[in-house]
Structure 1
């Protein structure tokens, strides 16, 4: 397991997933970088549920303070997502991203 400076923890399998996504799709996304979004509901009817998404954003629009190196891949993580993922493990298993406490 590894930790980035914002407190997000990730496994080697997750880093390999991001690397393979970049290798497979990166040629179609010139000048873009991966962005990781994570939302977890704290209250209301969906309390306890969480959603994640990996997408592409323009690298020029990504704040350098919110860019992190996960394995060999540069990834933008929005500050709200950083707070939601702090001290949580990002892992790739069974063809899906798993977020663990």
Structure 2
């Protein structure tokens, strides 16, 4: 997520830089190109922000589920299987015989 934040910051900075160039150039074609480029950078930044927000919600929901599982007094083996599934890890294949 830290990499996405850095990339997001760079997109915002690049968009602002393009706006500055478009406002200071005397060439109409160059102005148009940099305005389009700034719009593209802003759209990319908006898309990344949406992805980051979605991931934050999913991470929060997963964390709440994990906290609920850790507080259970039910079968610990089932809780461990559920926890490993939520964390995206394969459950341990070496279960005791008869389980």
TM-score (norm 1): 0.23
**Structure holding more strand per residue:** 1
**Structure holding more helix per residue:** 2
Highest CA radius of gyration, 1 or 2?
2
Higher relative contact order (CA 8 A, sep 6+): 1
TM-score (norm 2): 0.23
